[in-house]
Amino acid sequence: MVDLKSQYQKIKEEINAGIQEVLDSTAFVKGRKVGIFQKNLENYLNVKHVIPVGNGTDALQIALMALGLKPGDEVITPTFTFVATAEVVALLGLTPVLVDVDFDTFNISVESVKKAITPKTKAIVPVHLFGQNADMEELMQLAKQHNLYVVEDACQSIGSVYTFSNGQKAQSGCMGDIGCTSFFPSKNLGCYGDGGAIFTNNDELAKKMRVIANHGMDVRYYHDVVGVNSRLDSIQAAVLDVKLKYLDDYIKARRHAADYYDKAFAGNPKITIPARSPESTHVFHQYTVKLNGIDRNDLQKVLAQKGIPAMIYYPVPLHLQKAYKTDRYKSGDFPVAVQLCECVLSLPMHTELEEEQLEFITECTLILKNA
Ligand SMILES: *Cc1c(COP(=O)(O)O)cnc(C)c1O
Protein backbone atom coordinates (compact mmCIF):
# COMPACT_ATOMS: atom_id res chain seq x y z
CA MET A 1 0.00 0.00 0.00
CA VAL A 2 2.95 2.29 0.70
CA ASP A 3 6.63 2.25 -0.24
CA LEU A 4 8.48 4.22 2.41
CA LYS A 5 11.76 2.49 1.62
CA SER A 6 12.07 3.80 -1.95
CA GLN A 7 10.97 7.23 -0.80
CA TYR A 8 13.64 7.24 1.93
CA GLN A 9 16.36 6.12 -0.49
CA LYS A 10 15.81 9.24 -2.61
CA ILE A 11 16.21 11.69 0.31
CA LYS A 12 18.48 9.57 2.47
CA GLU A 13 21.37 12.02 2.69
CA GLU A 14 19.22 14.96 3.74
CA ILE A 15 17.25 12.89 6.24
CA ASN A 16 20.35 11.32 7.75
CA ALA A 17 22.01 14.72 8.05
CA GLY A 18 18.93 16.15 9.78
CA ILE A 19 18.79 13.26 12.24
CA GLN A 20 22.55 13.46 12.82
CA GLU A 21 22.20 17.12 13.70
CA VAL A 22 19.70 16.22 16.42
CA LEU A 23 21.96 13.42 17.69
CA ASP A 24 24.90 15.82 17.88
CA SER A 25 22.81 18.41 19.74
CA THR A 26 21.24 15.77 22.05
CA ALA A 27 18.24 18.13 22.26
CA PHE A 28 15.85 15.26 21.69
CA VAL A 29 12.82 17.03 23.13
CA LYS A 30 11.93 20.66 22.32
CA GLY A 31 15.06 21.00 20.23
CA ARG A 32 15.70 23.66 17.60
CA LYS A 33 14.37 21.45 14.81
CA VAL A 34 10.88 21.47 16.28
CA GLY A 35 10.66 25.26 16.13
CA ILE A 36 12.11 25.36 12.61
CA PHE A 37 9.64 22.78 11.32
CA GLN A 38 6.77 24.59 13.06
CA LYS A 39 7.62 27.88 11.31
CA ASN A 40 8.08 26.20 7.93
CA LEU A 41 4.74 24.43 8.25
CA GLU A 42 3.03 27.69 9.28
CA ASN A 43 4.40 29.26 6.10
CA TYR A 44 3.39 26.33 3.92
CA LEU A 45 -0.16 26.32 5.29
CA ASN A 46 -0.42 30.10 5.57
CA VAL A 47 -1.78 29.65 9.10
CA LYS A 48 -0.94 31.71 12.19
CA HIS A 49 -0.24 28.87 14.62
CA VAL A 50 1.05 25.33 14.22
CA ILE A 51 1.32 23.42 17.50
CA PRO A 52 3.37 20.25 17.11
CA VAL A 53 2.11 17.35 19.26
CA GLY A 54 2.68 13.63 19.76
CA ASN A 55 0.22 12.23 17.20
CA GLY A 56 -3.00 12.96 15.35
CA THR A 57 -5.25 11.51 18.03
CA ASP A 58 -3.65 13.75 20.67
CA ALA A 59 -4.13 16.70 18.32
CA LEU A 60 -7.88 16.00 18.19
CA GLN A 61 -8.08 15.49 21.94
CA ILE A 62 -6.21 18.68 22.79
CA ALA A 63 -8.33 20.63 20.29
CA LEU A 64 -11.54 19.46 21.94
CA MET A 65 -10.13 20.07 25.44
CA ALA A 66 -9.47 23.70 24.49
CA LEU A 67 -13.10 24.38 23.60
CA GLY A 68 -14.28 24.28 27.22
CA LEU A 69 -17.08 21.78 26.58
CA LYS A 70 -19.05 20.13 29.38
CA PRO A 71 -19.89 16.45 29.85
CA GLY A 72 -22.89 15.58 27.73
CA ASP A 73 -22.20 18.25 25.13
CA GLU A 74 -22.67 16.80 21.67
CA VAL A 75 -20.04 16.66 18.97
CA ILE A 76 -21.10 15.69 15.46
CA THR A 77 -18.71 13.55 13.43
CA PRO A 78 -19.07 11.07 10.52
CA THR A 79 -19.69 7.37 11.09
CA PHE A 80 -17.58 6.35 8.07
CA THR A 81 -14.03 7.14 9.21
CA PHE A 82 -11.11 6.05 11.35
CA VAL A 83 -12.11 5.70 15.01
CA ALA A 84 -9.87 8.41 16.49
CA THR A 85 -12.36 11.24 16.04
CA ALA A 86 -15.22 9.60 17.95
CA GLU A 87 -12.79 8.09 20.43
CA VAL A 88 -11.48 11.37 21.81
CA VAL A 89 -15.00 12.78 22.02
CA ALA A 90 -16.07 9.80 24.13
CA LEU A 91 -12.89 9.85 26.25
CA LEU A 92 -13.56 13.46 27.23
CA GLY A 93 -17.05 12.59 28.45
CA LEU A 94 -18.65 14.35 25.51
CA THR A 95 -21.28 12.65 23.40
CA PRO A 96 -20.26 11.61 19.90
CA VAL A 97 -23.18 12.10 17.52
CA LEU A 98 -22.46 10.12 14.39
CA VAL A 99 -23.90 11.11 11.04
CA ASP A 100 -23.97 9.70 7.52
CA VAL A 101 -21.66 10.59 4.65
CA ASP A 102 -21.96 11.48 0.99
CA PHE A 103 -21.84 8.46 -1.33
CA ASP A 104 -19.73 10.18 -3.98
CA THR A 105 -17.07 11.92 -1.88
CA PHE A 106 -17.12 9.69 1.27
CA ASN A 107 -17.21 12.92 3.30
CA ILE A 108 -19.62 14.04 6.03
CA SER A 109 -23.09 14.79 4.67
CA VAL A 110 -24.19 18.34 5.38
CA GLU A 111 -27.84 17.26 5.28
CA SER A 112 -27.15 14.65 7.96
CA VAL A 113 -25.36 17.23 10.10
CA LYS A 114 -28.37 19.56 9.84
CA LYS A 115 -30.70 16.83 11.08
CA ALA A 116 -28.39 15.94 13.98
CA ILE A 117 -28.07 19.42 15.48
CA THR A 118 -29.77 19.77 18.89
CA PRO A 119 -29.53 22.42 21.65
CA LYS A 120 -26.71 20.32 23.14
CA THR A 121 -24.59 20.37 19.97
CA LYS A 122 -21.36 22.29 20.51
CA ALA A 123 -19.04 21.25 17.71
CA ILE A 124 -18.74 19.58 14.33
CA VAL A 125 -15.66 17.51 13.51
CA PRO A 126 -15.60 16.88 9.77
CA VAL A 127 -12.98 14.41 8.53
CA HIS A 128 -11.43 15.23 5.16
CA LEU A 129 -11.45 11.60 4.23
CA PHE A 130 -8.93 9.99 1.87
CA GLY A 131 -7.37 13.39 1.07
CA GLN A 132 -10.25 15.57 -0.08
CA ASN A 133 -11.83 18.41 1.90
CA ALA A 134 -15.40 18.06 3.11
CA ASP A 135 -17.95 20.69 2.08
CA MET A 136 -16.44 23.38 4.31
CA GLU A 137 -18.38 26.32 2.91
CA GLU A 138 -21.72 24.80 3.92
CA LEU A 139 -20.38 23.41 7.18
CA MET A 140 -18.94 26.77 8.24
CA GLN A 141 -22.23 28.51 7.40
CA LEU A 142 -24.16 25.94 9.40
CA ALA A 143 -21.73 26.27 12.32
CA LYS A 144 -22.11 30.04 12.28
CA GLN A 145 -25.91 29.82 12.27
CA HIS A 146 -25.93 27.49 15.27
CA ASN A 147 -22.90 28.94 17.06
CA LEU A 148 -20.85 25.72 16.83
CA TYR A 149 -17.13 25.13 16.78
CA VAL A 150 -15.59 23.37 13.78
CA VAL A 151 -12.55 21.18 14.36
CA GLU A 152 -11.21 19.72 11.11
CA ASP A 153 -9.69 16.26 11.10
CA ALA A 154 -7.08 16.83 8.40
CA CYS A 155 -5.06 13.73 9.26
CA GLN A 156 -5.43 12.43 5.68
CA SER A 157 -5.61 15.69 3.79
CA ILE A 158 -2.58 17.90 4.45
CA GLY A 159 -1.84 19.99 1.36
CA SER A 160 -5.34 19.73 -0.06
CA VAL A 161 -6.72 23.16 -1.05
CA TYR A 162 -10.35 24.26 -0.76
CA THR A 163 -11.82 27.08 -2.85
CA PHE A 164 -14.79 29.00 -1.43
CA SER A 165 -17.45 30.42 -3.74
CA ASN A 166 -15.95 33.92 -3.37
CA GLY A 167 -12.71 32.57 -4.84
CA GLN A 168 -10.86 32.55 -1.52
CA LYS A 169 -8.59 29.53 -1.12
CA ALA A 170 -7.56 27.78 2.08
CA GLN A 171 -5.41 24.86 3.08
CA SER A 172 -7.01 21.78 4.58
CA GLY A 173 -7.20 22.11 8.35
CA CYS A 174 -7.02 25.92 8.27
CA MET A 175 -10.69 26.77 7.70
CA GLY A 176 -12.42 25.81 10.94
CA ASP A 177 -11.59 27.04 14.43
CA ILE A 178 -8.95 24.33 14.74
CA GLY A 179 -7.41 21.76 12.39
CA CYS A 180 -5.61 18.55 13.32
CA THR A 181 -3.18 16.41 11.41
CA SER A 182 -1.12 13.26 11.87
CA PHE A 183 2.44 12.56 10.79
CA PHE A 184 2.08 8.78 11.14
CA PRO A 185 4.57 7.23 8.67
CA SER A 186 1.96 6.26 6.06
CA LYS A 187 0.23 9.66 6.09
CA ASN A 188 0.87 12.10 3.24
CA LEU A 189 3.44 13.97 5.32
CA GLY A 190 4.77 11.13 7.45
CA CYS A 191 7.62 11.01 9.92
CA TYR A 192 9.58 7.96 11.12
CA GLY A 193 7.55 7.32 14.23
CA ASP A 194 4.58 9.14 15.72
CA GLY A 195 3.79 12.80 15.29
CA GLY A 196 0.97 15.25 14.82
CA ALA A 197 0.09 18.92 14.78
CA ILE A 198 -2.72 21.35 15.49
CA PHE A 199 -3.45 24.40 13.32
CA THR A 200 -5.36 27.54 14.22
CA ASN A 201 -5.61 31.22 13.34
CA ASN A 202 -7.10 31.98 16.77
CA ASP A 203 -4.46 33.35 19.19
CA GLU A 204 -6.46 32.53 22.30
CA LEU A 205 -7.13 28.92 21.31
CA ALA A 206 -3.48 28.53 20.27
CA LYS A 207 -2.31 29.65 23.70
CA LYS A 208 -4.77 27.33 25.46
CA MET A 209 -3.73 24.35 23.35
CA ARG A 210 0.01 24.97 23.92
CA VAL A 211 -0.68 25.00 27.65
CA ILE A 212 -2.85 21.86 27.53
CA ALA A 213 -0.25 19.95 25.47
CA ASN A 214 2.33 20.84 28.13
CA HIS A 215 0.71 19.48 31.33
CA GLY A 216 -1.59 22.49 31.62
CA MET A 217 1.47 24.57 32.41
CA ASP A 218 2.24 28.09 31.21
CA VAL A 219 4.69 29.08 33.93
CA ARG A 220 6.89 26.12 34.83
CA TYR A 221 5.45 23.96 37.64
CA TYR A 222 2.28 26.07 37.88
CA HIS A 223 -0.67 24.11 36.47
CA ASP A 224 -3.68 26.23 35.61
CA VAL A 225 -5.71 23.56 33.83
CA VAL A 226 -5.62 19.78 33.56
CA GLY A 227 -3.41 19.03 30.60
CA VAL A 228 -1.63 16.17 28.89
CA ASN A 229 1.92 15.47 27.78
CA SER A 230 2.07 15.53 24.01
CA ARG A 231 5.04 16.66 21.94
CA LEU A 232 6.67 16.09 18.62
CA ASP A 233 10.24 14.97 19.27
CA SER A 234 13.21 16.62 17.59
CA ILE A 235 14.20 13.63 15.44
CA GLN A 236 10.70 13.47 13.96
CA ALA A 237 10.75 17.22 13.38
CA ALA A 238 14.07 16.87 11.53
CA VAL A 239 12.57 14.19 9.26
CA LEU A 240 9.42 16.23 8.68
CA ASP A 241 11.32 19.41 7.90
CA VAL A 242 13.08 17.60 5.05
CA LYS A 243 9.91 15.93 3.79
CA LEU A 244 7.86 19.14 3.90
CA LYS A 245 10.04 20.49 1.07
CA TYR A 246 8.90 17.55 -1.05
CA LEU A 247 5.24 17.58 -0.03
CA ASP A 248 4.06 19.24 -3.24
CA ASP A 249 6.06 16.75 -5.33
CA TYR A 250 4.62 13.90 -3.29
CA ILE A 251 1.11 15.21 -3.88
CA LYS A 252 1.83 15.38 -7.62
CA ALA A 253 3.05 11.78 -7.63
CA ARG A 254 -0.09 10.62 -5.83
CA ARG A 255 -2.28 12.55 -8.29
CA HIS A 256 -0.41 11.04 -11.20
CA ALA A 257 -1.14 7.56 -9.87
CA ALA A 258 -4.79 8.50 -9.27
CA ASP A 259 -5.11 9.86 -12.82
CA TYR A 260 -3.70 6.60 -14.15
CA TYR A 261 -6.20 4.54 -12.14
CA ASP A 262 -9.04 6.90 -13.18
CA LYS A 263 -8.27 6.40 -16.87
CA ALA A 264 -7.92 2.64 -16.56
CA PHE A 265 -11.29 2.25 -14.81
CA ALA A 266 -13.19 5.06 -16.55
CA GLY A 267 -16.61 4.00 -17.81
CA ASN A 268 -16.35 0.58 -16.17
CA PRO A 269 -19.82 -0.08 -14.70
CA LYS A 270 -18.41 -2.38 -12.02
CA ILE A 271 -15.70 -0.10 -10.70
CA THR A 272 -16.64 3.45 -9.65
CA ILE A 273 -13.65 5.75 -9.47
CA PRO A 274 -13.45 8.25 -6.57
CA ALA A 275 -15.40 11.45 -7.22
CA ARG A 276 -13.40 14.67 -7.23
CA SER A 277 -15.12 17.54 -5.53
CA PRO A 278 -15.25 20.75 -7.60
CA GLU A 279 -14.35 22.83 -4.52
CA SER A 280 -11.41 20.83 -3.27
CA THR A 281 -8.19 19.48 -4.67
CA HIS A 282 -7.52 15.83 -3.82
CA VAL A 283 -4.23 14.70 -2.31
CA PHE A 284 -5.15 11.00 -2.49
CA HIS A 285 -4.15 9.67 0.87
CA GLN A 286 -6.12 6.70 -0.42
CA TYR A 287 -7.38 5.79 -3.87
CA THR A 288 -10.69 4.15 -3.07
CA VAL A 289 -13.02 2.60 -5.62
CA LYS A 290 -16.55 1.31 -5.15
CA LEU A 291 -17.26 -2.15 -6.51
CA ASN A 292 -20.59 -3.05 -8.00
CA GLY A 293 -21.16 -6.60 -9.22
CA ILE A 294 -17.62 -7.74 -8.39
CA ASP A 295 -17.04 -9.89 -5.32
CA ARG A 296 -14.67 -7.86 -3.14
CA ASN A 297 -13.15 -10.89 -1.43
CA ASP A 298 -12.47 -12.55 -4.77
CA LEU A 299 -10.83 -9.44 -6.13
CA GLN A 300 -8.70 -9.02 -3.02
CA LYS A 301 -7.62 -12.65 -3.36
CA VAL A 302 -6.77 -12.32 -7.07
CA LEU A 303 -4.72 -9.23 -6.32
CA ALA A 304 -3.00 -10.83 -3.33
CA GLN A 305 -1.95 -13.78 -5.51
CA LYS A 306 -0.19 -11.28 -7.76
CA GLY A 307 1.46 -9.64 -4.76
CA ILE A 308 -0.80 -6.58 -4.85
CA PRO A 309 -2.23 -5.40 -1.53
CA ALA A 310 -5.71 -3.90 -1.46
CA MET A 311 -7.36 -2.75 1.76
CA ILE A 312 -10.84 -2.07 3.04
CA TYR A 313 -11.01 1.40 4.60
CA TYR A 314 -13.33 1.02 6.52
CA PRO A 315 -15.08 -2.32 7.00
CA VAL A 316 -17.47 -1.31 9.81
CA PRO A 317 -19.04 2.14 10.39
CA LEU A 318 -18.49 3.54 13.87
CA HIS A 319 -22.17 3.40 14.88
CA LEU A 320 -22.05 -0.40 14.47
CA GLN A 321 -18.82 -0.83 16.45
CA LYS A 322 -19.26 -2.43 19.87
CA ALA A 323 -17.67 0.51 21.68
CA TYR A 324 -19.90 3.12 20.06
CA LYS A 325 -23.27 1.38 19.82
CA THR A 326 -26.01 3.32 21.62
CA ASP A 327 -29.79 3.54 21.65
CA ARG A 328 -29.42 6.79 19.76
CA TYR A 329 -29.08 4.85 16.51
CA LYS A 330 -31.60 2.44 15.08
CA SER A 331 -31.27 -0.28 12.50
CA GLY A 332 -31.34 1.22 9.02
CA ASP A 333 -29.58 4.41 10.11
CA PHE A 334 -26.80 5.79 7.91
CA PRO A 335 -27.52 3.65 4.85
CA VAL A 336 -24.79 5.34 2.79
CA ALA A 337 -22.02 4.55 5.26
CA VAL A 338 -23.27 0.98 5.63
CA GLN A 339 -23.29 0.54 1.86
CA LEU A 340 -19.82 2.05 1.48
CA CYS A 341 -18.37 -0.33 4.07
CA GLU A 342 -19.58 -3.18 1.89
CA CYS A 343 -18.27 -1.97 -1.47
CA VAL A 344 -15.11 0.13 -0.98
CA LEU A 345 -11.64 -1.06 -1.83
CA SER A 346 -8.44 0.97 -1.62
CA LEU A 347 -5.65 0.24 -4.09
CA PRO A 348 -1.93 0.84 -3.52
CA MET A 349 -1.33 4.59 -3.31
CA HIS A 350 1.97 6.26 -2.53
CA THR A 351 4.63 8.55 -3.91
CA GLU A 352 6.78 5.89 -5.54
CA LEU A 353 4.35 4.10 -7.87
CA GLU A 354 5.98 3.55 -11.25
CA GLU A 355 4.09 3.42 -14.54
CA GLU A 356 4.86 -0.29 -14.80
CA GLN A 357 3.41 -1.01 -11.37
CA LEU A 358 0.29 1.00 -12.13
CA GLU A 359 -0.16 -0.92 -15.37
CA PHE A 360 0.19 -4.23 -13.54
CA ILE A 361 -2.20 -3.24 -10.74
CA THR A 362 -4.90 -2.00 -13.12
CA GLU A 363 -4.58 -5.03 -15.41
CA CYS A 364 -4.90 -7.41 -12.49
CA THR A 365 -7.86 -5.45 -11.10
CA LEU A 366 -9.62 -5.64 -14.44
CA ILE A 367 -9.20 -9.42 -14.72
CA LEU A 368 -12.36 -9.86 -12.69
CA LYS A 369 -14.33 -7.21 -14.52
CA ASN A 370 -16.54 -9.75 -16.25
CA ALA A 371 -16.87 -11.98 -13.23
C1 LIG B 1 -4.45 8.64 11.14
C2 LIG B 1 -5.70 9.29 11.52
C3 LIG B 1 -5.92 9.76 12.82
C4 LIG B 1 -4.98 9.50 13.97
O5 LIG B 1 -3.68 9.85 13.79
P6 LIG B 1 -2.55 9.17 14.73
O7 LIG B 1 -1.34 9.99 14.46
O8 LIG B 1 -2.41 7.75 14.30
O9 LIG B 1 -3.01 9.29 16.13
C10 LIG B 1 -7.10 10.43 13.08
N11 LIG B 1 -8.03 10.62 12.13
C12 LIG B 1 -7.86 10.16 10.88
C13 LIG B 1 -8.93 10.41 9.87
C14 LIG B 1 -6.70 9.48 10.53
O15 LIG B 1 -6.57 9.00 9.30
337 and 193 together in one domain:
no
Predicted TM-score (pTM) of the model is 0.97
**Nearest-CA residue for atom 2 of ligand 1:** 155
Helix orientation angle between 234-245 and 247-265, rounded to the nearest 10 degrees: 60
Measured from the Cα of 58, ligand 1's closest atom is: 9
Q: Which of 198, 223, 244 is the last residue of a domain?
A: 244
Whether the Cβ atoms of residue 185 and residue 193 lie closer than 8 Å to each other: yes
C-alpha separations of 216 from 10, 161, 230 in Å: 41, 33, 11
- The atom of ligand 1 lying closest to the CA of 129 is 13
Q: Classify residue 192 by its DSSP letter.
A: S
Question: CATH code at 319?
Answer: 3.90.1150.10
Residues 220 and 254 in one domain: no
Are 225 and 255 in the same domain? no
Q: How many domains does the chain have?
A: 2
Q: How far is 277 from 136, CA to CA, in rounded Å?
A: 12
Q: Where are the alpha helices (DSSP H) in the chain?
A: 4-25, 32-45, 56-65, 84-91, 110-116, 136-146, 203-213, 234-245, 247-265, 296-305, 335-343, 355-366
Q: Are residues 239 and 252 in the same domain?
A: no
Do 261 and 240 fall into the same domain?
Answer: no
Do 141 and 268 lie in one domain? The reply is: no
Which of 212, 244, 276 is the C-terminal boundary of a domain?
244
Residues 160 and 293 both lie in one domain: no
Give CA–CA dist 303/287, Å, rounded.
15
Give Cβ neighbours of residue 255 (< 8 Å, ≥ 6 apart).
282, 283, 284
Asked whether 184 lines ligand 1 (CB < 6 A), one says: yes
How far is C-alpha 216 from the geometric centre of its chain's CA atoms? 26
Q: For residue 82, how far is its CA from the centre of ligand 1 (angstroms)?
A: 7
Nearest CA owner, ligand 1 atom 6? 56
Cα 264 to averaged position of ligand 1 atoms, centre (Å): 30
Which residue type does 60 have?
A: L
Q: What CATH number is given to the structural domain containing 200?
A: 3.40.640.10
Q: Are residues 232 and 319 in the same domain?
A: no
- pLDDT by residue for the chain (371 residues), tens digit each? 899 999 999 999 999 999 999 999 999 999 999 999 999 999 999 999 999 999 999 999 999 999 999 999 999 999 999 999 999 999 999 999 999 999 999 999 999 999 999 999 999 999 999 999 999 999 999 999 999 999 999 999 999 999 999 999 999 999 999 999 999 999 999 999 999 999 999 999 999 999 999 999 999 999 999 999 999 999 999 999 999 999 999 999 999 999 999 999 999 999 999 999 999 999 999 999 999 999 999 999 999 999 999 999 999 999 999 999 999 998 899 999 999 999 999 999 999 999 999 999 999 999 865 54
**183 CA closest ligand 1 atom index:** 7
Q: Is 152 in the pocket of ligand 1 (CB under 6 A)?
A: no
Q: Is 183 found in the same domain as 292?
A: no
Last residue of a domain, one of 218, 244, 270: 244
State which residues form the domain around 163.
4-100+107-244
User: Same structural domain for residues 236 and 259?
Assistant: no
Same domain? 282 vs 230: no
- 48 and 93 share a domain? yes
Q: Measured in angstroms, how far is the CA atom of residue 180 from the centroid of ligand 1?
A: 9
